[in-house]
Structure 1
Amino acid sequence: MSNLDPNPDEVVCAGRDGHRPRVLDYREVPLGGPRAMTVRRSLPQRGQSLIGAWCFLDHYGPDNVADSGGMRVAGHPHTGLQTVSWVFRGEIEHRDTTGAHAIVRPREINLMTAGSGIAHSEFSTADTTVLHGVQLWVALPNAHRFTEPAFEHFEPPLLDIEGAQVLVFLGSLFGQSSPVRTFTRLLGAEITLRPGQTLSVPLAADYEHGVMVDTGMVSVGGAEAKSGQLVYLPLGASGVDIAASPDGSARILLLGGEPLGEQIVMWWNFIGRSHDEIVGYREDWQRERRDQSSPQTGRYGPFPAEWQQTIPAPDLPNVRLAPRG
């Protein structure tokens, strides 16, 4: 997914420790146009810019596509990150400049590694009537941020843990591991709880964790959260009790990872390490949009023949980045 904010902030991100679970609210962001999808963005934010290497979390839907227009994100670039697409309902057609063409379906992870540079498009399919899911970004560590772009797909098996349904799409949990490649140690899992159920979830004490509530009301280590909110769990926890309200079932995403230990600069769809790098990524994209005659020499690769348009980069801010975080 593209960050379609026409005036994106340029942000230096770094992790932040605490001692107890903290409930983080989201902000609503329209993804462009008069019939724009609106997403609930809980990462990055002023109080928490990273959870491990997780650096971006958009939660959308359930949206009636007849009203919202669905997801219509034309070709756009990324650098220095991996994107994780995970849907609860509906389907999204993905194309990218590695030649990958895939349909993102519920309970299946599609992970795209941007590395040195990639471009992709995302459109909800014609059969999709309701769209509901998340789009997540993972920052690549300095040692691997110029890796070759790639695309992976995986359908995790459904686990029954004391009556809870668990899907482990990244890392390991409850004895189940995902084969999808990451460049730092990460965890990503969907957990659905029965009404009133409490599940004791083991955690890696050297990970930061976040629990994003999709549906229902939950208590995470005693912190109460509702749909769209994110509960941050700092380093040191070896487990947490997650409880659904007696009033109904709850579905959450459990995200975790070892602290990145690096500062990153995020602007629009790029992750780099300096203002000057971001300027260069933007210039490369604008040039390649204008001229695809020699795509093999470009940063972002040859555009798919099916692309009718691509998204121009917004204007850069008039001042250089002032480091913060």
Structure 2
Amino acid sequence: MGQPRTRGLMARARRALLSALVTAALVTPLAGAARPEIPAPPPATTLSTPGLPSVYAANRKNAAEAARMAATHGDAHRAAAVRALAAPSRRLLAFDGRGAGQATEVLGDLAHAEHIAVLVPGSDTSLDTYARFHRAAAALYADLTHRAAPGTRVAVVAWLGYETPATVSTTVTTPTRAGEAAPRLRALVRRLRTEAPGAHLSLLCHSYGSVVCGRAAPGLDADDIALVGSPGTGADSAAALHTRARIWAARGSEDWVAHVPHIRADLFGTTVGFGADPVSAAFGARVFDAADADHSGYFTPGSAALAHLARITLDVPSEATRG
């Protein structure tokens, strides 16, 4: 008697939550206060710029101008965030200071890298919060250089190449932003294959970033795709991602995303939810241990999750996986 009743309660709870998500997505969009547009120059033209050092320099110059314009506009926080990106030590493969902003930053020697990790961020990542994203990339780069065999060259690409949804918003429950981002991620991967031919390439996709990776996956020329803190990918299984890449997944025991129901519904032309749980046995990913990581803890120095992500990037993944 207990099990049927429990299943019935769970089914009703899922239906209630689905109803709430649909209502949020279709009926009651959040009306947050609009932020005044921050002026910034158009992105630097680098397609004909020879060599990565020249590309980095052009984008740093553009970031410096964006910082100056933000300061003149009275936005000290944006000015400081962008000014940091304009520092001589930073390697910007792309930069756009307009709106929420976008940036693609390289840590390491991309042109000679044998192993490359691309970090794909989730919600609430913008130029204003970029320092947090950079810390994750820097932690991974430090772990990679520590674990790599002597002489092995590695690089990390922090890809803020799309407008991420806000955590508290209607867009975070739908694949719309992911659909817009997927072609840009594919373009980045093609560029990396040109800049570093033969490198082992891994996409490390966090939270809503895993939805982006799921949309970009079909035919993507990557060796590994790791999904951490994922609400789902929009696919019912790893095989349904239609990629030659190995698919990995992990979720920490303290990650609130475990309580997000793995449902997907198409209603009135809008898709709500992202389907199958990537860490479930039915999904078919190679599941690795993230210990007690919370939703923001997968790139914490010294953590089990970061260690596994580094091993995946170096193509020496731990044997402590299932799937």
TM-score range, shorter chain: under 0.3
TM-score normalised over the length of structure 1 = 0.27
Q: Return the structure number with greater helix share.
A: 2
Greater RCO (CA < 8 Å, at least 6 residues apart): 1
TM-score when normalising by structure 2: 0.28
